[in-house]
Amino acid sequence: MRPLIIAANWKMNTTPADAGELAAIIAARTEEPGVTRVICPPYVCLAAVRDALAGTNVAVGAQNVHHELAGAYTGEISAAALAGLATWVILGHSERRRDAMESDELIGKKLARAISSGLRPILCVGELLAERESGRAVEVVANQLRGALAGKDVEALINGGFVIAYEPVWAIGTGRTASSADAAAMAEAIRSTLAEDLGWGKSAELVPVLYGGSVTSANIGEFLAEHSIDGGLVGGASLKPDEMAGMVARAAITAMARAAAEGKPV
Ligand code: PEP
């Protein structure tokens, strides 16, 4: 059974003065069985969030990492620098593809670095609106996967807890979401790209696929009702404790239902 995951991407919000308090409130409001919770604050807030979450089982993630271990890369952060601060990392978010021109090849290098450094990666993929409207969404996402994953060590990725987030770019921060049917179809296309094009075979079934793009407590249920979707990568709504409480509570119901369907404990 794949884990149910709610990952909070705080983007460039919060400061070291307020991030810990917000994280502690969210942790206390989201104590539910069967749901993996991750909070990804800005780099400079990682220590405050880590300290605030000590003693909870909410994980801390970074929003990016450099692919080299050290060197002349002004303004960048290495995996070694994240040791002790974060155990997860978001890679290839569309805002980084857009603003930092991150290519699939570069994202693939970051992925390899994350895995070899013990950081659990969430690889973001997703199409632009024009690409969806011209019927090329699956092709675009498959190309992103091939570009980042070709030649990677599948066993290391699976053992490292590799996660994919399908985030249609046009749904991020817009209040507009993909339909749950389209998101589920994309999750299936993602797993078949892994299984067939990339030769992952049955290992593809082990990879959690999250949906991201204007997820809220009001709409997350539609996505979690789809068996191919294993949670959400949430931006705006993840800064609101009430919203996080609602989303994690809904995910806990799904976790229980899926465990019951497989005759397993949550
Ligand atoms: C995101 O940051 O990955 C995201 C999906 O943002 P939002 O939930 O605000 O659309």
- Give the mutation target among 214, 220, 223, 238 for probing the ligand 1 site: most ligand atoms within 8 A of CB: 214
Output the pLDDT for position 254: 98
Q: 103 to each of 60, 100, 107, 223, how far by Cα in Å?
A: 25, 9, 6, 28
Atom of ligand 1 nearest to the CA of 216: 8
94 CB under 6 A from ligand 1?
Answer: no
CB 40 within 8 A of CB 9: yes
Output the pLDDT for position 264: 86
**Ligand 1 geometric centre to CA of 203 (Å):** 27
Q: Give me the domain span that covers residue 106.
A: 4-261
CATH number at residue 53: 3.20.20.70
Output the pLDDT for position 214: 97
Q: How would you classify residue 205: left for phi > 0, otherwise alpha for psi between -120 and 50, otherwise beta?
A: alpha
12, part of any domain: yes
177 CB under 6 A from ligand 1?
Answer: no
For ligand 1, atom 3, the nearest C-alpha belongs to 235
Q: Is the pTM of this model over 0.75?
A: yes
149, part of any domain: yes
Number of domains comprising the chain: 1
266, part of any domain: no
For ligand 1, atom 6, the nearest C-alpha belongs to 235
Tens of pLDDT along the chain (266 residues) come to 899 999 999 999 999 999 999 999 999 999 999 999 999 999 999 999 999 999 999 999 999 999 999 999 999 999 999 999 999 999 999 999 999 999 999 999 999 999 999 999 999 999 999 999 999 999 999 999 999 999 999 999 999 999 999 999 999 999 999 999 999 999 999 999 999 999 999 999 999 999 999 999 999 999 999 999 999 999 999 999 999 999 999 999 999 999 999 998 87
212 CB under 6 A from ligand 1?
Answer: yes
For ligand 1, atom 2, the nearest C-alpha belongs to 235
47, part of any domain: yes
66 is catalytic: no
Tell me the CA end-to-end span of the chain in Å, nearest whole number. Answer: 10
For ligand 1, atom 7, the nearest C-alpha belongs to 235
